[in-house]
Amino acid sequence: MERLLKILNSSLNALITVILSAMCIFVFLNVVLRYVFNSGLTWSEELARYLFVWVVFLGAIVAAKDKSHLGVDLLVRILPHGLQRAAYVLSNIVIIVVLGLFIDGLIKMMALNSGITSPGTGLPVALFYLAGLFAAVCMIGISIIQAVQFGFFNRNSPSWAKKEKNVNDMNLLNENGGTKS
């Protein structure tokens, strides 16, 4: 399982790198063509916009996996370890519900814009919404895995989580007069 996750992570990072590079190349090429040859690629700006949307949503998946999204941990830091785990599971449930609402809205927008293509490239406008749909489904999976790992198995804890005191460590401290050997 861990090997599969590493392969998916490296594939996702490689895909982000390729998309970001392609986006920069298209924009740079269009700028050079406009200023040097007084003509440009009509489709490059629109394709760069599509690629930008995809790179943002793929980056959101990576941030969710790495637990790098912004969060306020002022209250949860002072809770005991057991309550921290419960709060983490609860917050991930809220995240999953919100992502479910996001998916519902995306599906409605895809249905509303079905058959519409962009003028420069002829690509379906639904590709914008497909990026969000893909990211939301991936982040729901990540949230479920992280909630189960930390909430139920006390593994893969967030950076703010207190470490659970081991009973054996406490016995060693008592036997050695407060020093651990």
Per-residue pLDDT of the chain (181 residues; tens, 9 = 90+): 678 778 888 999 999 999 999 999 999 999 999 999 888 888 888 899 999 999 999 999 999 999 988 888 888 989 999 999 999 999 999 999 999 999 999 999 999 998 899 888 889 988 889 999 999 999 999 999 999 999 999 988 888 888 876 544 444 445 555 555 4
Q: Which residues of 145-155 are buried (b: 16+ CB within 10 A; e: fewer)?
A: ebbeebbeeee
Instruction: Find tokens 């306020």 and name the residue.
Output: 72
Q: Six-digit token pair at 7?
A: 């392969």
Among 70, 30, 40, CA closest to 159: 70
> pLDDT tens-digit profile of 86-118?
999 999 999 999 999 999 999 999 999 988 998
Q: How far is CA 102 from CA 98, 113, 142, in A?
A: 6, 16, 16
CA separation for the pair 12, 19 (Å, rounded): 11
Domain ranges of the chain: 2-175
Among 97, 99, 98, 90, CA closest to 151: 90
Asked if 151 contacts 95 with a C-beta cutoff of 8 angstroms, the reply is no
Question: What pTM does this model have?
Answer: 0.82
